[in-house]
Amino acid sequence: MKPVFQTLRLLRQGQWVNVPDVPPSRTLLQVLREDLNLTGTKEGCAGGDCGACTVMVGQACGDQLELKAINSCIRPALALDGQAVWTVEDLKTDEGLHPAQEAMVRCHGSQCGFCTPGFVMSLAVLHENQGQAVTREQAQEQLSGNLCRCTGYRPILDAAVMMKSLPVSSTQPLIDQTKTLSFLKQGPCVGRQSVNKTRYHLPTSLPDLLTLRATLPQAQLIAGATDVGLWITKQHQRFDEVIDLSRVTELLRVEDYPHHVAIGAAVPLAQAFAVLAQQRPVLTNFFSRFAGLQVRNAGTLGGNIANGSPIGDSMPLLIALGAHVVLMRMHQGQVQHREVPLEDLYTGYKQNILRADEVLAWVKVPKPKPGESLRAYKISKRFEDDISAVCVAIKLELQDSVVISASVGAGGVAATPQRAVQTQAVLQGQVWSSTLAQAAGLAMQAEFSPLSDLRASADYRSQILARLWQRFWLESQGTPHLDLSDLHTLQSLSNITQAAL
The interface mask with ligand FAD, positions 30-69, x = CB under 6 A, is -----------------xxx--------------------
Among the listed ranges 13-21, 135-143, 144-152, 199-207, the one in contact with ligand FES (CB under 6 A) is: 144-152
Q: Which residues contact 489 (CB under 8 A, 6 or more apart)?
A: 480, 482, 483
Neighbours of 339 (CB within 10 A): 12
| 43 binds ligand FES, rule: CB under 6 A | yes
Spatial contact of 316 and 391, defined as CB atoms under 8 Å apart: yes
Interacting partner of 122 out of ligand FAD, ligand FES, none (Cβ under 5 to 8 A depending on kind): none
Among the listed ranges 9-17, 25-33, 166-174, 290-298, the one in contact with ligand FAD (CB under 6 A) is: 290-298
The whole-angstrom separation of Cα 77 and Cα 202 is 12
Between the alpha carbon of residue 116 and those of residues 92, 257, 413, the distances in Å are 14, 44, 38
The whole-angstrom separation of Cα 408 and Cα 423 is 8
Between the alpha carbon of residue 214 and those of residues 224, 335, 336, 358, the distances in Å are 21, 11, 12, 8
Considering only 22, 55, 73, 261, the residue that binds ligand FES (CB under 6 A) is: 73
Considering only 110, 142, 352, 424, the residue that binds ligand FES (CB under 6 A) is: 110
- Edge-to-edge strands, sheet with 260-264: 254-256, 260-264, 358-366, 324-331, 334-341
| 49 binds ligand FES, rule: CB under 6 A | yes
| 310 binds ligand FAD, rule: CB under 6 A | no
| 360 binds ligand FAD, rule: CB under 6 A | yes
DSSP letters for 86-133: E-GGGT-BTTB--HHHHHHHHTT--SS-SSHHHHHHHHHHHHHH-SSP
| 322 binds ligand FAD, rule: CB under 6 A | no
Among the listed ranges 136-144, 157-165, 307-315, 464-472, the one in contact with ligand FAD (CB under 6 A) is: 307-315
CA dihedral 293, 294, 296, 299 (to 10 degrees): -170
> Cα-flanking dihedrals φ and ψ of residue 11, to 5°?
-90, 115
Considering only 100, 148, 301, 306, the residue that binds ligand FES (CB under 6 A) is: 148
Least Å distance, CB 498 to ligand FAD, is: 33
Position 387: which residue type?
A: I
The interface mask with ligand FAD, positions 376-415, x = CB under 6 A, is -----------x----------------------------
Q: Which is nearer to ligand FES, 295 or 413 (CB)?
A: 295
Q: Which is nearer to ligand FES, 269 or 468 (CB)?
A: 269
Least Å distance, CB 305 to ligand FAD, is: 8
Q: What is the largest CA-CA distance in the chain?
A: 76
Site residues, ligand FES (CB under 6 A):
43-46, 48-53, 71, 73, 110-116, 148-151
Site residues, ligand FAD (CB under 6 A):
47-49, 221-228, 230, 245, 265, 269, 290-291, 295, 299-300, 302-304, 306-307, 312-313, 354, 359-360, 387
